Structure 1
Amino acid sequence: MAPVGKYALVALLAGMSIFGFRATLGPITTNGLGAVLRDVLDPTTDAALPGAPQPVKTAFTGLKPLDRQLTVLVTFFAALINDPGAGWNVTAFYVWGIAQFTAGWAALVLEGRRSGNRGALVSWVGTVGLLFQNLTWTFAVPLYLGLHLLTSPIAKLGSQGSRKDVGEAARRSLFVYLWDLALIPMAVTLGLVVPTVFMSMPFLFQQSAATHYNWVAFWQAFPLWTVLILDILHNACYYLLGSLSPQDKAGEPTTPGNGFMVAVSGVYEFALTVCAVTHIPLVLLSVLPDFARSALASALPARYTALVSQVTFAATFIPASAPTVDPTNFGPGDLAPLAIHFLQYDLYTGNMAVLLWALYLHVTAAGRPFAKTLEILVFWSVVGGPMAAAIALLWDRDEIVKEGETATPVVVVEAKKTK
């Protein structure tokens, strides 16, 4: 794909950012949800969220501007998580969306750690994460990806030149410290997945209202927690256990490219698993024909009847037509549709941006026939959704690190200590 294609994609990503911003934050000012959030912030009102633990907490750090922003974010998620009138379709999309988001976050963390991005703006994924937490995923991520295409040497990798030249350029740009590759899934799990579980299921842990809202507030800073955990674990493992050298699947010394692919596969497998284990059952349930849905509902305990009947494709994955709420008169089930409507545009637009970016990198760098690219795209979109397709394309693209390298094991990146 010529440079013209890159600039066209950058322009498209900028347009997607603007569209996503308008489709998410724009309606909040008119659909009533913004007014509900403002009422919770207003100390002169006695605003409450029906069904949410009471009282709603509005003080977390003692810093008024930060507490105001945290209260807005916490109230938004409380309106989604704690709305007792929300249907199972809301819960299903929330689970699906969190899984797609987790995989996307893992991919961004991996990208920021690549040697070609080290020290550049695109390596500041923690900062980018905090930005999209406050300015939406759909606004910040397309801009980040556009910056990546314009500034990262990774976006310049191509199939021109000899296999050796292509492989050497890829190895210089794509490599990641081996301890980072081993620890990214753990850092994402501890920094994002665990806080998500605690904030989403307070009933399992018998949380008080204050504890629940503290967990929701803590979750908002998951980009910071992920990066800190990764740095701490990396340094601890390096100094306690020594450095690592490339190894094949059998644990034997191998070439840098093959060793990198063995190590990075753990990150990609983690992301694809998170996508697939949520996407497959939820999408299959959502597209069941009526006769199969009725049969399944009759075979399950009665408490699951609503789950089977409510999780349809249209109700779960298709954005509703401009839902609204009266901020002065609303009850259980009224706020969750507005929050889900926001998240649908947020995730669909942001995830599509990631997929287009990964598709560009695969087409320009991997040197695969387009039929192979299309096969990966279609298969993983069906199995794991758009983020799984993006992850699979990036994984296949990374195979170019093995191009033209010698068969003799060479220690690079980090040298293993001998004892």
Structure 2
Amino acid sequence: MAPVGKYALVALLAGMSAFGLRATLGSLATNGMGPILSAVLDPSTDAALPGAPLPLKHSFTGVGPLDRQLAVLVTFFSALIDDPGAGGEVLAFYVWGMAQFAAGWAALVLEGRRAGNRGAVVSWVGTVGILFQNLTWTFAVPLYLGLHLLTSPIARLGSQGSRKEVGEAARRSLFVYLWDLALLPMAVTLGLVVPTVFMSMPFLFQQTAATHYNWIAYWQAFPLWTVLILDILHNACYYLLGSLTPQDAEGKPAAPGNGFMVAVSGVYEFGLTICAVTHIPIVLLSLLPEFARSTLAAALPAKYATFVSQVTFARTFVPYPLSAPPTVDAASYGPGDFAPIVIHFLQYDLYTGNTALLLWALYLHVTASGRPLAKSLEITAFWTVVGGPIGAALALLWDRDEVVKEGETAPAVAVEAKAK
């Protein structure tokens, strides 16, 4: 794609950010959720969300402004997690969406660690994470990706001339410390996945109301936890065990490009696994024809039969139009009224932000890989079916990274030690 294509994509990303903000935060003032949250968050009232454990918690850190923001986020997620009237389609989308979100977050952390971005604004993924946690994924991520396209040398790969020159530029900009590559899946698991499980399943260890709300509050800072865990583990391993050297798939010394691809494969495999193991079963279940759905439901206990009957594609994945969103009556609401509103919010949040990530990855693949556009579209189509939009984005980035091996003749070196 020519530079004109880059600027057109940046403009599109900015438009997607504005659209997503309107579709998510902008909807809270008109769907009834905003006034209800305000009433519930007022410590002087006895208002409570249906099904939410009591007593509600309003203080988490002792810092007034921070506690108010955390209370809003905690109550919003509680409206989804604790709503006893939520249907099976709500649970199915929640699991699917959280998996896509975790894999997308791993991709952003990886991007921030690349040598070409080191020290630049786009390396501040922890800050970006805090922004989209408070201002939505759909608002912050497209803007981050647009900034990446305008400022990162990685977005210019493919314009250096010969494929050998492209490979040399790629080896300078795409490399990541090998300890970071080895530890990134663990950092995302500990910083995001584990807190997600604990906040979503309050019956684990028979959590009290306070513990449940503490887990939801703790989850909100997952960008900070991920980055801190990765930095701590990296420094501990580096100073205790020394630097890692590039190795091939058989554990033998390798040239930097080949060694990097072996190491980074673990990150991509982690993200693609999260995507595929949730996307495939949920989408297949949602697409079952009615006779197959009825047969499966009849063979299961009542609780699971209800879940199977509710997880259709339209109910699970198709959002309400913005002109006719779900609403809740602030004067009379009950179980089942809140989950559809939160899911509607998350659908526009994730669909817009994830599409932005996919378009960004597609652009980087087309411009840097040297492959024809048809190949890029083939990868996109296959992995969207297998792993959703984030699965496709990861597959494109993984294939794009192969450019580091082009024209490589250098002997194996300790990349991390050299970089440090």
TM-score, length-scaled by structure 1: 0.98
> How big is each residue's C-alpha offset from its partner over 1:150-177, in whole Å with a ceiling of 9 and x where there is no partner?
0000000015522221111000000000
Unaligned runs of 5+ in 2: none
CA distance 1:6–1:126, shift in 2 (3 Å): same
- Quick check: 1:342 aligned with 2:317? no
User: 1:218-276 CA distances to partner (integer Å, 9 max, x unpaired)?
Assistant: 00000000000000000000011111010001110000000000000000000000000
Q: In the alignment, what sits opposite 1:367?
A: 370
State the 4+ residue runs in structure 1 displaced beyond 2 angstroms: 407-416
Instruction: Using the TM superposition, give the Cα deviation of residue 114 of structure 1 relative to its aligned residue in structure 2, in angstroms.
Output: 0.1
Partners of 1:53 and 1:340 in 2: CA distance: 20
Equivalent position SS for 1:414: helix
Partner of 2:161: 161
Unaligned runs of 5+ in 1: none
1:328 counterpart residue number: 331
Tell me the equivalent position of 1:27.
Answer: 27
Quote the Cα distance in structure 2 between the aligned partners of 1:245 and 1:101: 31
Kept in 2, the 8 Å contact 1:99–1:274? The answer is yes
| Residue in 1 that maps onto 2:85 | 85
TM-aligned CA deviation for residue 299 of structure 1: 1.7
The structure 2 residue matched to 1:406, chosen from 398, 409, 413, is 409
Task: Name the SS for the 2:212 alignment partner.
Answer: helix
Q: TM-score, normalised by structure 2?
A: 0.98
1:408 CA displacement: 3.5
| 1:1-400 equivalent positions in 2, closer than 5 A | 1-158=1-158, 160-320=160-320, 321-400=324-403
How many Å apart are 1:301 and its aligned residue? 2.1
Q: For 1:63 and 1:407, how far apart are their aligned partners in 2?
A: 54
| Contact kept? 1:178, 1:414, Cα under 8 Å | no
Q: Is this contact kept in 1: 2:244–2:414, CA < 8 A?
A: no
> Does the aligned pair in 1 maintain the 2:256–2:411 contact within 8 Å?
no
Contact 2:97 2:350 in 1 (8 A): yes
Cα deviation for residue 407 of structure 1 reads 6.3
**1:23-54 C-alpha deviation (Å, 9 max, x unpaired):** 00111001111111111222332110110101
- Which SS does the other structure have where 1:72 is aligned? helix
Which 10-residue stretch deviates more, 173-182 or 46-55?
A: 46-55
Given that 1:244 and 1:415 are in contact with CA atoms closer than 8 Å, whether structure 2 keeps it comes out as: no
Secondary structure of the 2:218 match is helix
Cα distance, 1:415 vs structure 2: 5.9
Residues 49-101 of structure 1, C-alpha deviations (whole Å, 9 max, x = no match): 11010111111011111111000000000000000000010000000000000
CA RMSD of aligned residues (A): 1.1
CA distance in 2, matches of 1:244, 1:410: 10
Q: Report the 3-state secondary structure (helix = DSSP H, G, I; strand = E; otherwise coil) of the residue aligned with 1:341.
A: helix
Deviation at 1:128, TM superposition (A): 0.1
User: Secondary structure at 1:270's aligned position in 2?
Assistant: helix
CA contact under 8 A between 2:90 and 2:340: conserved in structure 1? yes
Write the letter of the residue equivalent to 2:384. S
For residues 300-330 of structure 1, the C-alpha deviation after alignment (integer angstroms, 9 at most, x for no partner) is 2222111110000000001124100012211
Q: Please give the secondary structure, in 2, of the residue aligned with 1:413.
A: helix
- Contact residue 86 and residue 332 of structure 1 kept, 8 A: yes
CA separation in 1, counterparts of 2:372 and 2:332?
58
Q: Work out whether residues 243 and 414 of structure 2, in 8 Å CA contact, stay in contact via their aligned partners in 1.
A: no
C-alpha deviations, 1:186-219, integer Å up to 9, x for none? 0000000000000000112200000000000000
Per-residue deviation, residues 124-168 of structure 1 (Å, max 9, x unmatched): 000000000000000000000000000000000015522221111
Q: In percent, how many aligned pairs have the same letter?
A: 80
Would you say the 8 A contact 2:177–2:415 is kept in 1?
no
2-structure distance, mates of 1:43, 1:375: 54
- Preserved contact between residue 285 and residue 311 of structure 1 (Cα < 8 Å): yes
Letter in 2 for 1:7: Y
Cα distance in 2 between the residues matched to 1:345 and 1:277: 22
